[in-house]
Chains A and B, each alone.
Chain A
Amino acid sequence: MADGIADMRPAAGWIDAGAGTIDAAIYWDPAVYALEQERVFGKTWLCVAHESLVPKAGDFFTSRMGEDPVIVARQRDGSIAVFLNQCRHRGARLCRADMGQAKVFACSYHGWTYDLAGNLISISKESVVDGGKIDKTRWGAVKVAKIHNYHGLIFATWNPDAPAFDDFLGEAKWYFDMMFDRPGGTEVIGGVQKWVVKANWKLGAEQFTSDIYHFDYTHVGTSMAFMPPDMPMGEPPVVNGRQFRDQGHGGVVTTDVQLSDMQTAIAMGMDVLAYNQSRRPLMAETLGALRGHDAQPVHANIFPNLGILPLNQTLRLWQPRGPGEMEVWAWTLVDKEAPPEIKERARLQTQFTFASSGVFEQDDAENWAEVQRALRGPMGRSAVFNNQIGRGESRDPDGIFPGTTDFAMSEAAARGFYAHWQKLMLEDGQ
């Protein structure tokens, strides 16, 4: 791919973060997509699972790192291994179950067998086929270079030179800790929901990174349905808060906790709100008053493809599936220590609001698919999109929030997302 890059990249790059423009090719061009698999998904840290999906030794979850299938497996010593779901003999997937319990992974083609860490442990009919000469230590499944458990989220990377995980999160870690450094830890409700949206994966990622702007218009129908019938619509309140950004990550935290609590009451129910409020003193003990109870996270994305809606307690991976499609993998995130009835209420409300049938989520998928629909003809495909919303502030004028921030409705974090994406795309993989 590397030799093709000069031909396909517009002179100024696909992204001009200074001018705030996006070349539409990044959403449809198969060559950009192929390069992105290598240089973005092949190089950066990627979330592959939540540890609660594989609680016991032998538990596995088959995940993805870009288009590469991987197995995430709990080892006997309690650690977690991540390796390519591909036999080293002729390349068939070692496991085609979505999740489960295993002692070994045996390839269904010729029976080469791997242990829970992906080490090749047996070659079928070894003596008959003269397999003894094969050095099994050299023919294990391809393992990721690094694994990191971030408050229960399992991240992995193929890149041995990837930065330390905390450096990868950078300044944004202060904000992500608000979402994941919960007292007693978090877990996801069992299973996973998967569906296919006919749109490039970046449309989901970018929105969760940087777009609270869309909410009032995209979701107006659902907002109206939630309101009492006789209540006048009026202009929805503007979210007071700061949008953080660093190294492609982004999101919004609000200081208007009263409004955020009202939204939680509507979307998640009074019981979930009351439970969350009861946890704030504990949060404050670990993270301080600001992150404990004076501010609440609203939306976020960990670069490249882990979307988070803390209020709606949903996590999703935007899995690339060719330039024009993505798989959305969605979970409900709850506190491990939450009482069963709170977990159940969160499960029901998240399913109803942000999920395959979610009354909010449906409208997002619709808009992303509409973007993709218009990228078929030469005029649409050569479009340059506007990404200029917001002042591009870098510091909180009130001096409350650390790091690089702008006002909540800015697109500065989207500019940061695309600029970081382009930086990875233009770096030689060597």
Chain B
Amino acid sequence: MSYEMVLPYRVSDAGEPADLPLWHSVQQFLFQEAALLDRRAFAEWLDMLDDGIRYWAPTRYSRTPRERAGEWSRPDQAAHFDDSKQFLALRVRRLLTDRAWSEDAPSRTRHLVTNVQVRRLADGAIEADSNFLVYRGRVDDCEEIFSGARHDRLVGSDGPYPFRIAERVILFDHTMILANNLGIFF
């Protein structure tokens, strides 16, 4: 019975805070990602994702004080996203058909990414936590704000970006999603 939130993922204890150059390059990477999403450069965004990525947004609940530990869905329960790279690529392919009516006209998003904390893990991977506030406008009367946090595991890459996202957990600050759909990326 803890008042403190029980996170839906395991926090690795074998890690150390990143030094300034690593912290800076991870933050720049996350900012670049946000810029790609807001520019709708989705094909390029896919290059930032590791082929083995799990892109997971567990559902969230209001619970009784005794059951606060159940605030988040377990990994085998309901989720708003639980995507592989293949699923994410299909989502992008759908958008590029020009027949995805729910994104016609496309959402106008602005991803504000803040509170970036970076740790280097014993196995060489990098853990990056960040907060987001995503604004979404659509056509002439739709305004949505999504708030939340992300927990990312990054691995080094010799591709166009210094890292690839190997795991992303998206923690929405909503139990009920106040939107017609989650047709955008976080």
Contact = CB atoms under 8 A, between A and B. Distances in A.
B123 to A, nearest CB: 26
Interface stretch (B28-36, B45-53, B60-68, B108-116): B60-68
B94 A222 contact: yes
Contacts of A359: 90-91, 94
B62 A224 contact: no
Interface stretch (B19-27, B96-104, B128-136, B158-166): B96-104
B76 interface: yes
B87 A97 contact: no
A51 B29 CA distance: 46
A336 interface: no
B77 A189 contact: yes
A331 interface: yes
Interface in B73-105: 73-74, 76-84, 87, 90-91, 93-95, 97-103
Contact of A196 (B67, B103, B178): B178
Given A196-B177, A366-B102, A225 B182 contact: no
Contacts of B83: 352
A92 to B, nearest CB: 15
Contact of A357 (B100, B103, B183): B183
B87 A352 contact: yes
Contacts of A357: 57, 80-81, 181-183
Which of the listed residues A191, A343, A357, A366 has the most CB atoms from chain B within 10 Å of its own CB?
Answer: A357
B62 A218 contact: no
Interface in A86-116: 95-102
A344 to B, nearest CB: 6
Nearest to A365: B180
Given A225-B93, A369-B180, A98 B79 contact: no
A327 B61 contact: no
A363 B67 contact: no
B179 interface: yes
A182 interface: no
A96 B81 contact: no
A196 B87 CA distance: 24
Given A357-B181, A362-B100, 20 more contacts: A100-B67, A191-B78, A195-B178, A195-B181, A196-B177, A197-B181, A198-B180, A220-B97, A221-B94, A225-B93, A226-B90, A347-B82, A352-B87, A356-B177, A357-B183, A359-B90, A359-B94, A362-B180, A363-B102, A366-B180
A361 B102 CA distance: 9
Nearest to B88: A352
